[in-house]
Structure formats: structure tokens, C-alpha cells
Structure 1
Amino acid sequence: MIFVVTLLMGVVAGLRAMTPLAAASWAAHLGWVSVAGTPLEFMGNSWTPWVFTVLAVAELITDQLPQTPSRKVPVQFGARLVSGALAGATLAIGVGALIPGIVLGVVGAVVGTFGGAAARGKLAARFGKDLPAALIEDAVAVLGALALIHFV
């Protein structure tokens, strides 16, 4: 099950880079995943979920701005890969699946980045504007991340 969760959390990273980090750090902080004594112990610190939550909310806001770059440009794409890797690693390290968690998080981030861009483009074309499509994508990312941390 952890492999499916880390892959899907990577997909969420492709939609919104900071959302899976917020979700994974809350899961670690609340003790739902074990990161104690690992290199990812910082993900369970008391301040980490708050920092990632603030960054996730800021991302939800800035995504609505017209000057926000495409998720497919190198910096944005790279951030999604790193986010998928870190979230996947955080969720998987407690069961001894660090490397698979990283790999599946990255693979999911690639799928989420390109699939999310395509889906949002089609939705925006249907609505005749981007905002409704962006809000739907926000909801899928946030609700998806929240649902996924309950399966670890």
C-alpha cells in the first residue's frame, strides 16, 4: 500500500509542489509515520508542518496570478520532483522503503506535472477561463494529500 500512496503523493506534487510536503510533515509530526532517528527526522519537528503549510497556502494563492510561470519550466518542474521525492521518502522511510519512496514520488511528480497541466488546460477551455480549473486542481491536490496520509 505504501508504494501506491507514495506514487499518488508524487502526483499531488505535480499539481501543487508544497501540498505534499505539508501533508507528509504533518503525518510525521503527528506520529502517523515514523521518521525518528532517520535523516528525515526534521520532517516531524514541531515547526516543519507549519512552515510547509504556510508555503502551501502561499502557493495556492500565487498559482492564481497571471504571472506565475508554467509548472513545466525547469525551476518549477524541479521543485515538483524534489517535493515528490521528499514527501515519498518521508512516508516510506518508516517501513524501510526509502529508495522506493523517493523513486515513486519522483515518478508520480512527473505524471502529475504533465497530466495536471493537460487536465487543467482542458478544464480551462471548457470553462472559458482558468480560475475554475485552477480551483478544482487546488481542491484535488489538498483533498488528495489529506486522504493519502490516512493510508500510511
Structure 2
Amino acid sequence: MTHFLVLLLALLIGVVAGLRALTPPAVVAWAAALHWINLDGTWAQWLAHPITVTVLTILAVVELITDQLPKTPSRKTPVQFLARLIVGAFAGAVIGTAWGYTFGGLGAGMIGAVLGTLGGYEARTRLVAATGGRDLPVALVEDVVAVVGGFAVAALTAVV
């Protein structure tokens, strides 16, 4: 895979982190477990372990549920934003590691997380306003975009 494609996929998994922070770690763990990416002998090989995949999947599902709660803080609060940057960088680094571009993937994932956090916030805010303040349908669509988008990125790592 070319350096450009690896960085593009790392950027895109970072965008997913901006939408849902715990989806990218679960997705890259599934990608490793399904052998879509090869992490054998790398710092990230532990992601393919069934216990890791299970724990990260449960955490991602819990996040999808808690995001619907009215007291969930904005993704733009410092703690939430920082968590998305870290997770985006981590997931990007994992994707980059599979092709020897760990640090490039880390940077691309972090940039993607900024784009996903700010862009996702703006999109959701505008869509909620356009639907008369109905947040739940918009939040559910965002969940689907994050999960399907995350798995699409992971699947592309196996194809390209």
C-alpha cells in the first residue's frame, strides 16, 4: 500500500474518532482479529486478542448508548476533545504500523480527529436545528456513520 493511502486511511479513522471516540479502537481491533491488517510482531499485536476485541467492542457499544443521554458533555469540552485526539492518533498509528508508517499514521489520525470532532459537532448542531431540535434521530444517524465508516476504513485496509 502506498504511503498516501495509508495516511488517508489513518486520517479517516481519526475522523471517526471525532464522531465516536471508542469506535476506532474497536474497529482496528476487529481489523487485526480478522487479519485485515497484520500487526504480528508489532507494538499493537495485542489488539487482535479476543479479550481485547471483546472489551473494546463493549466500550464502543456503551459509548453509543451514553451518547444519547442528555447530560453527555459536548465533544468540544477539553477532556472530550483531548480523548478524541488521543484515540484518533492511536487508531491512526495502528493502521500506519501495519505498513511501517506508525508515526505518519499517528499524525494523520490526530488531524482526522480534529476534523471529525469539529466537523461532526457542526454537522450535528445544524442538522438538529434543521429538524426542529430533534437530537435523537440525528445522533442515531451519526452513530451509524461512525460505525459503518469505521468498518469501511478497516475493510479498505484489507483491500488496497
After the TM superposition, which segments of 4 or more aligned residues of structure 1 sit over 2 Å from their partners?
A: none
CA drift at 1:139: 0.9
Output the CA distance in 1 between the equivalents of 2:50 and 2:67. 27
The one-letter amino acid of 2:154's match is: I
Aligned to 1:148: 153
Amino acid at match of 1:134: A
Matched, 1:102 2:122: no
Aligned partner of 2:115 in structure 1 is 111
The corresponding residue for 1:68 is 72
3-state DSSP of counterpart to 1:39? coil
1:120 equivalent in structure 2: 124
Rounded Cα–Cα distance in structure 2 between residues aligned with 1:32 and 1:137: 25
RMSD of aligned alpha carbons: 0.8
Q: Does 1:138 align with 2:143?
A: yes
SS, match of residue 50 in structure 2: coil
Report the Cα offset of residue 45 of structure 1.
Answer: 1.4
SS, match of residue 95 in structure 1: coil
Q: Does 1:47 align with 2:54?
A: no
- Aligned-residue identity in percent: 51
Partner of 1:15: 19
After superposition, what is the alpha-carbon deviation per residue over 1:37-71, rounded to whole angstroms, capped at 9, x for unaligned? 11111111121111111011100100000000010
How many aligned positions are there?
152
Superposed CA deviations along residues 53-106 of structure 1, whole A, max 9, x for unmatched, are: 101110010000000001011111111111111111111102100001100000
- TM-score when scaled to structure 1? 0.97
Query: 1:43–1:90: 8 Å Cα contact kept in structure 2?
Result: no
Output the CA distance in 1 between the equivalents of 2:84 and 2:95: 16
Structure 2 runs not aligned, ≥5 long: none
What is residue 85 of structure 1 aligned with on the other side?
A: 89
Amino acid at match of 2:112: G
Normalising by structure 2, report the TM-score.
Answer: 0.92
Q: Which amino acid aligns with 1:101?
A: G
